[in-house]
Structure 1
């Protein structure tokens, strides 16, 4: 687990939160917030991606049939192939998807238990899990999860009842708080196995939301992301801390570790901070390239600001 100088923040913590542990009370706050992204409000993902329009989480349109064009039909739905073949204009009809499975990949590996200011990345991730879980329930989607503790994978199959979100949140809280005191040298499940588990668990047409810092993501995982994307909608949400960019007011020397190596970093050195910034940007470019190549949405959430403040701007 990385360690670093912990700067204080002038911003008040979210309700019922201490920034380190997770509790049900602080996560239940997001149950009321989810209504902000219900139709006809702007989509959560449009906001997270900085876009103006996006389909709602867990919602899309399924093709139903083709019939002859009628006055008032949207010309954008004209089926030009059938129109050319028959000589008469035909239009496609669609029906709204119902109870689409939403499966969250919740990364609780050791690198998430880090925060140089305000919240641990894992805590911010937990807040996002809660928001998505309650929004999925409000939209009558089934919600499930794969919780990756670093040492094990816990599978929670999709459910469209209240027990779905509550079960995920309680498991998240229990494992998160236990992992705060877990040995640093505990075994680690490969990211490959996590992606393969998602592929096995998710039925075709699922919405897969991957919540992680993606520090275990490597070039060989690109193919697995592509396989997940073949029959599902996939979203990547990355959680990061300002210190990973070399952004800190601390100007002392601290010991840091990434499990395989340990070294001392001089944060008073501009070169040190530049190296960190360049390394972070290289990782961002690789993740964005993977997302773009497979048509996967990619967004980033900082652990240094309240989640809702980042989403609402």
Structure 2
């Protein structure tokens, strides 16, 4: 994998130029080409992704109708063959949940996790614009939630990337520990999202807990969800650094010896346990799950899948 930064990016600060760059990249993932999501999901087809057909009505079967569209329930109830009619799926709301809390302002190699979130968010937003969908977002800083209502054409994408640049700059200047978990943000999604929305959650999910399952389950009943975990290699114990490093969480300070294989394995094990918890809940609630590393540009990773 290449470890070159994307154009206009230094890996730490965000600029409009580096996010506008993904406008020209978005065409690669428009139909009939393979979708962005099929790339991220390992080339598997998904009914959840891309434009399709919406159910319209049921009427009595007519000569020439596709027999695969026969509604067998109505046929059995009435004793006469009936078929389902479908119409082309119309403009749909695309909602991004963007985690910019303090754990995201970290990167051990190429870029901060928060920067990778912004890059992927920009790419999704511009794809949405190209497909004539409305796009909105919730930016979660861990202290406040910033709602961006879904808008059509370029307005939605431009509002999102401008907000990301502004908020990210403020957070770098004044890092604060989060005061709420992801549940607050997920609850905001239920208020912001019209039914039938495509919701993408971009986060490292460090604030994720089993208690979030019920909220996600309710969201997934009327919307299509995709969880994308942003990962730094160090979180999996992968680092060339060999030495002592001070780390801290909300309550405690620890010294970690990265020259110790036991330490690195312990970090990897803790990460895998937490990730498995997320994957299990995602599977139970019918949510797609994938991951992106922040040690490589997005476009490089997608082409490599």
TM range (shorter): over 0.9
Counterpart contact for 1:44–1:56, Cα < 8 Å? no
Q: List runs of 5+ in structure 2 lacking aligned partners.
A: none
Among residues 271, 274, 295, which one is paired with 2:286 in the alignment? 295
Counterpart contact for 1:59–1:100, Cα < 8 Å? no
Counterpart contact for 1:125–1:239, Cα < 8 Å? yes
User: How far 1:86 sits from its partner (Å)?
Assistant: 4.0
The residue that corresponds to 2:75 in the other structure is: 83
- For the residues of structure 2 that align with 1:74 and 1:295, how far apart are their CA atoms? 29
- For the residues of structure 1 that align with 2:235 and 2:160, how far apart are their CA atoms? 29
- For the residues of structure 1 that align with 2:155 and 2:82, how far apart are their CA atoms? 44
The residue that corresponds to 2:115 in the other structure is: 123
User: How far 1:204 sits from its partner (Å)?
Assistant: 1.1
For 1:177-256, list aligned pairs within 5 A.
177-185=169-177, 188-256=179-247
- For the residues of structure 1 that align with 2:30 and 2:268, how far apart are their CA atoms? 37
> Judging changes above 3 Å, is the alpha-carbon distance between structure 1 residues 56 and 230 closer, same or farther for their aligned structure 2 residues?
closer
The residue that corresponds to 1:106 in the other structure is: 98
TM-score, normalization by structure 2: 0.94
For 1:11-160, list aligned pairs within 5 A.
11-55=3-47, 57=49, 59-70=51-62, 73-160=65-152
Counterpart contact for 1:42–1:53, Cα < 8 Å? no
Counterpart contact for 1:256–1:264, Cα < 8 Å? yes
- For the residues of structure 1 that align with 2:63 and 2:275, how far apart are their CA atoms? 49
User: How far 1:10 sits from its partner (Å)?
Assistant: 6.8
- For the residues of structure 1 that align with 2:303 and 2:60, how far apart are their CA atoms? 43
User: How far 1:79 sits from its partner (Å)?
Assistant: 1.1
- For the residues of structure 2 that align with 1:92 and 1:80, how far apart are their CA atoms? 10
RMSD: 1.8
> Judging changes above 3 Å, is the alpha-carbon distance between structure 1 residues 133 and 56 closer, same or farther for their aligned structure 2 residues?
farther
> Judging changes above 3 Å, is the alpha-carbon distance between structure 1 residues 75 and 10 closer, same or farther for their aligned structure 2 residues?
closer
The residue that corresponds to 2:158 in the other structure is: 166
Between the two proteins, the alignment pairs up a number of residues equal to 304
User: 1:40-68 CA deviation, whole Å, 9 max, x = no partner?
Assistant: 11121111111332247463432111234
- For the residues of structure 2 that align with 1:87 and 1:43, how far apart are their CA atoms? 42
Counterpart contact for 1:245–1:277, Cα < 8 Å? yes
- For the residues of structure 2 that align with 1:72 and 1:42, how far apart are their CA atoms? 32
Which one is further off, 118-127 or 66-75?
66-75
Counterpart contact for 1:245–1:276, Cα < 8 Å? yes
Counterpart contact for 1:58–1:136, Cα < 8 Å? no
Counterpart contact for 2:4–2:296, Cα < 8 Å? no
Q: List runs of 5+ in structure 1 lacking aligned partners.
A: 1-8
User: How far 1:302 sits from its partner (Å)?
Assistant: 0.3
Among residues 283, 302, 311, which one is paired with 2:302 in the alignment? 311
Counterpart contact for 1:58–1:102, Cα < 8 Å? no
Counterpart contact for 1:58–1:141, Cα < 8 Å? no
SS of alignment partner, residue 98 of structure 1: coil
